[in-house]
Amino acid sequence: MNESQENRTTCCIVGGGPAGVFMGYLLARAGVAVTVLEKHADFFRDFRGDTIHPSTLQLLDELGLLDEVLEVADFRAERLHVNVQGKRFVGPDFSHLPGKCKFIAIAPQWDFLNMLSEQGKRYPTFDLRMSTMGTDVIREDDRVVGVRCRSGDEEYEIRADLVVAADGRTSTVRGVTHHRIDEEGIPIDVLWFRLDRPDDDEGDSLAWLRDGHMLVTIPRRDHYQTARIIQKGAFDAIKAEGLVHFKETIASVCPPLKEVSQGLASWDEVKLLTVQINRLRKWHEPGLLFIGDAAHAMSPVGGVGINLAIQDAVAAANLLAEPLRAGALTESHLAAVQQRREPAARKTQRLQSTIHHQLFGKGRAAGEPLSLSWYLRVFVWAFSPLLRRVAGRLIGLGFQPEHIETPELAAKQ
Ligand SMILES: Cc1cc2nc3c(=O)[nH]c(=O)nc-3n(C[C@H](O)[C@H](O)[C@H](O)COP(=O)(O)OP(=O)(O)OC[C@H]3O[C@@H](n4cnc5c(N)ncnc54)[C@H](O)[C@@H]3O)c2cc1C
């Protein structure tokens, strides 16, 4: 391949997260030349979420990749449990969902993305460039016609019929193209930290609530990715109480973690992640489309962000592969992607917002514990079989589950 061929592609995707890699894989599989740019050298990121929902598993099954993903999954469950004031209840139930995959899986996101990109590389038109950052778009005659990028000391341009911004909630492409975004005020932040996994633990209680505190424990093979949900702005007050007090709170909310919480040696191991909900008004302009968190940042509530990002990628590939292959892409094709996916993103965000404000309320002081009424509501939810199934459906499938419609036209290498 000479240099001019290398820097000309049909679709250039900025961002190698779940949305970008999935869309790149599908387009390459459908015979479209695609270049995916990822600014990091690898996919190893601890705080990106690891849930693979039934609707994503269904898509992977449609692609013949279900066994590959289950091989890298650390954990799977037909129903999740919540622990309220020391009592364990059944929470979201996936066992009644239609389709083959009636369970949720948890797989390290880097393993999932490695698996997907390895599969993508089997198609000759899949070009994944790691350590390559999209820095700007190239415009000609009011149309985006490519991306400027940087890899180490080298800066160069990639020309493309379509640029897809899948570069996440802090999207560079959104910044340089000045697209308008609507932000929602969110009353929570999340503290993330790793704890060893106790030996005798089943790992299917995901949420723990006690005395106004909430923990989420995401099971990995040998450790827990643990989240403590706090009022926005409360981290300094929590730090002021000291690390010993922090560990005591963990042990009282989630007694199985009492021993392993002693492993937390300093605040450096506790990362503050700011929760955001926002969405773009317009997901496209001529030659440019936004998908995933770049179009609509999701809160971690329900752990649905990865699923939505992948559903965007599938819908975009379904709607765009043919016009891209035919060289006949127009902005109305891009508008169709927004029309298809925006309602699901909006409804999910509305639900997340309602949960935030119901549970964590507006106008509460930083550091104030969660309210008891929240516990009562969880009680009702945990006890009702119908609500368990509704929660399983909303979390597991979402509002607009997609299916693979793109054909496999490229021959695997
Ligand atoms: C605290 C927290 C916990 C969460 N937990 C979960 C969970 O358990 N389950 C779940 O489903 N969702 C969870 N989410 C949401 C989830 O992480 C996102 O919704 C999802 O990752 C969005 O996927 P994406 O591909 O659109 O963007 P991202 O996953 O953000 O991927 C964007 C990619 O683009 C790359 N990139 C960025 N800028 C550039 C550039 N200029 N050039 C090249 N590459 C670039 C980034 O390195 C990254 O790899 C959580 C979110 C938060 C904040």
What is the per-residue pLDDT across 91-108, written as a single tens digit (0 to 9) for each? 889 999 998 899 999 888
Yes or no: say if 401 and 55 are a contact pair by the CB < 8 Å rule.
yes
| Arithmetic mean of pLDDT over the chain | 89
Instruction: Report how far ligand 1's centroid is from the alpha carbon of 293 (Å).
Output: 7
Instruction: Report how far ligand 1's centroid is from the alpha carbon of 200 (Å).
Output: 32
Alpha helices in 327-384 (DSSP H): 331-360, 372-383
Assigned CATH topology for domain 78-102+188-231+233-274+374-401: D-Amino Acid Oxidase; Chain A, domain 2 (3.30.9)
List C-alpha distances in Å: 380 to 24, 162, 372: 43, 48, 13
Q: Which atom of ligand 1 is nearest to the CA of 134?
A: 42
Report which of 148, 117, 122 is spatially closest to residue 134, judged by C-alpha positions.
148
Q: Is the pLDDT of residue 386 over 90?
A: no
List beta partners, residue 137: 147
Look up residue 1 and give its two tokens.
Answer: 């391949």
Q: Please tell me the distance from the alpha carbon of residue 145 to that of residue 139, in angstroms, as a whole number.
A: 6
From atom 27 of ligand 1, which residue's Cα is the shortest distance away?
A: 168
Instruction: Report how far ligand 1's centroid is from the alpha carbon of 50 (Å).
Output: 11
pLDDT band at 1 (very low <50, low <70, confident <90, very high): very low
pLDDT band at 5 (very low <50, low <70, confident <90, very high): very low
The pLDDT value recorded for residue 362 is: 54
Q: Is the pLDDT of residue 3 over 50?
A: no
**Is the CB of residue 230 below 6 angstroms from any atom belonging to ligand 1?**
no
Average pLDDT over residues 171-189: 91
**Is the CB of residue 93 below 6 angstroms from any atom belonging to ligand 1?**
no
Q: Which atom of ligand 1 is nearest to the CA of 48?
A: 17
The pLDDT value recorded for residue 47 is: 64
The pLDDT value recorded for residue 252 is: 93
List beta partners, residue 165: 14, 290
The pLDDT value recorded for residue 223 is: 86
Q: What is the pLDDT of residues 201-248, one digit of tens each?
A: 766 778 898 888 889 998 887 888 899 999 888 999 999 999 999 999
Query: Whats the size of the chain, residue-wise?
Result: 413
The pLDDT value recorded for residue 374 is: 62
Q: What is the pLDDT of residues 31-46, one digit of tens each?
A: 999 999 999 999 887 6
The pLDDT value recorded for residue 376 is: 59
Report which of 297, 28, 30, 23 is spatially closest to residue 164, judged by C-alpha positions.
23
**Is the CB of residue 15 below 6 angstroms from any atom belonging to ligand 1?**
yes
**Is the CB of residue 300 below 6 angstroms from any atom belonging to ligand 1?**
yes
The pLDDT value recorded for residue 370 is: 61
Q: What is the domain partition of the chain in residue ranges?
A: 3-50+108-184+277-362, 78-102+188-231+233-274+374-401
**Is the CB of residue 305 below 6 angstroms from any atom belonging to ligand 1?**
yes
Percent of the chain with pLDDT over 70: 92
Q: Is the pLDDT of residue 404 over 90?
A: yes
What own/partner pairs with CB < 8 Å and gap ≥ 24 does 252-259 have? 252/210, 252/211, 252/213, 253/208, 253/209, 253/210, 253/211, 253/213, 253/214, 253/215, 254/83, 254/208, 254/215, 254/217, 255/86, 256/198, 256/201, 257/195, 257/198, 257/215, 257/217, 257/224, 257/226, 259/198
Q: What is the pLDDT of residues 327-371, one digit of tens each?
A: 999 999 999 999 999 999 999 999 888 887 777 665 555 556 666
**Is the CB of residue 38 below 6 angstroms from any atom belonging to ligand 1?**
yes
375 vs 27, which has greater pLDDT? Answer: 27
From atom 18 of ligand 1, which residue's Cα is the shortest distance away?
A: 305
Q: Please tell me the distance from the alpha carbon of residue 61 to that of residue 403, in angstroms, as a whole number.
A: 10
Q: Which atom of ligand 1 is nearest to the CA of 293?
A: 26
Q: Please tell me the distance from the alpha carbon of residue 128 to that of residue 117, in angstroms, as a whole number.
A: 8
Q: Which atom of ligand 1 is nearest to the CA of 135?
A: 41
Specify the pairing of strand 213-219 against strand 205-210: antiparallel
pLDDT band at 84 (very low <50, low <70, confident <90, very high): confident
The pLDDT value recorded for residue 2 is: 43
Q: How far is CA 110 from the centre of its chain?
A: 12
Average pLDDT over residues 146-156: 96
Instruction: Report how far ligand 1's centroid is from the alpha carbon of 17 (Å).
Output: 6
Sign (positive or negative) of CA dihedral 341, 347, 351, 357: positive
Q: Is the pLDDT of residue 74 over 50?
A: yes
Assigned CATH topology for domain 3-50+108-184+277-362: FAD/NAD(P)-binding domain (3.50.50)
Q: What is the pLDDT of residues 359-384, one digit of tens each?
A: 766 555 555 666 656 655 666 666 68
From atom 29 of ligand 1, which residue's Cα is the shortest distance away?
A: 17
The pLDDT value recorded for residue 371 is: 61
The pLDDT value recorded for residue 379 is: 61
Instruction: Report how far ligand 1's centroid is from the alpha carbon of 337 (Å).
Output: 20
**Is the CB of residue 402 below 6 angstroms from any atom belonging to ligand 1?**
no
**Is the CB of residue 273 below 6 angstroms from any atom belonging to ligand 1?**
yes
Q: Is the pLDDT of residue 256 over 50?
A: yes
pTM over 0.85: yes
Instruction: Pick from 22, 133, 306, 307 the residue to mutate for probing ligand 1's pocket: most ligand atoms within 8 Å of its CB.
Output: 306
Specify the pairing of strand 288-290 against strand 284-285: antiparallel
From atom 35 of ligand 1, which residue's Cα is the shortest distance away?
A: 15
**Is the CB of residue 14 below 6 angstroms from any atom belonging to ligand 1?**
yes
Q: Is the pLDDT of residue 410 over 90?
A: no
The pLDDT value recorded for residue 63 is: 97
Average pLDDT over residues 115-121: 96
pLDDT band at 301 (very low <50, low <70, confident <90, very high): confident
